[in-house]
Amino acid sequence: MPRYKITVDYDGRPFVGWQRQDNGPSVQAVIERAIRAFSGETVTIGGAGRTDSGVHALGQVAHLDLEKDWPAATVLGALNFHCQPDPVALLDCEKMHDGFDARFSAIRRHYRYRIANRLAPLTHDRGLAWHVKKPLDADAMHEAAQVFVGHHDFTTFRHTRCQAKSPWKTLEAFRVWRDGETVIAECSSRSFLHNQVRSMVGTLRLVGDGRWTTEDVAAALQARDREACGPVAPPDGLYLTRVDYRSAEEDRASRAAWLAEAAAADGAEDDRAED
Task: Find the length of the chain.
Answer: 275
Asked if 176 and 183 touch (Cβ cutoff 8 Å), the reply is yes
Q: Which residue has the higher pLDDT, 17 or 266?
A: 17
CATH number for the domain formed by residue range(s) 3-104: 3.30.70.580
| pTM, 2 dp | 0.91
> What DSSP character marks residue 237?
G
- Among the listed residues 9, 11, 22, 52, the single catalytic one is 52
Tell me the pLDDT tens digit for each residue of 220-247.
999 999 999 999 999 999 999 999 998 7
As a whole number of angstroms, the distance between CA 254 and CA 12 comes to 32
Q: Are 74 and 95 in contact (CB under 8 A)?
A: no
Domain spans in the chain, listed from the N-terminal domain onward: 3-104, 107-240
Q: What is the pLDDT of residues 128-148, one digit of tens each?
A: 999 999 999 999 999 999 999
Closest C-alpha among 136, 147, 130, 145 to residue 176: 145
Closest by Cα among 40, 60, 39 to 49: 60
Confidence of residue 275 (pLDDT cuts 50, 70, 90): low
Residue 268 pLDDT more than 50? no
Task: Please report how the helices 196-208 and 138-145 are oriented relative to each other, as an axis angle in degrees rounded to 10.
Answer: 130
pLDDT of residue 247: 76
Q: Distance between CA atoms of 23 and 169, rounded to whole angstroms?
A: 31
With beta carbons less than 8 A apart as the criterion, state whether 158 and 199 touch.
yes
Identify each DSSP E strand in the chain by its residue range.
3-10, 46-47, 56-65, 88-96, 106-117, 130-132, 150-153, 168-179, 182-189, 238-245
Fold identical between 3-104 and 107-240?
Answer: yes
Specify whether 69 is catalytic: no
Determine how β-strand 130-132 pairs with β-strand 106-117. parallel
Q: Which of 13, 17, 39, 38 is nearest to 29 (CA)?
A: 17
Sign of CA dihedral 264, 165, 198, 139: negative
107-240 adopts what CATH topology?
A: Alpha-Beta Plaits (3.30.70)
Q: 260 burial class (0-12, 13-18, 19+ CB within 10 angstroms)?
A: exposed
pLDDT of residue 57: 98
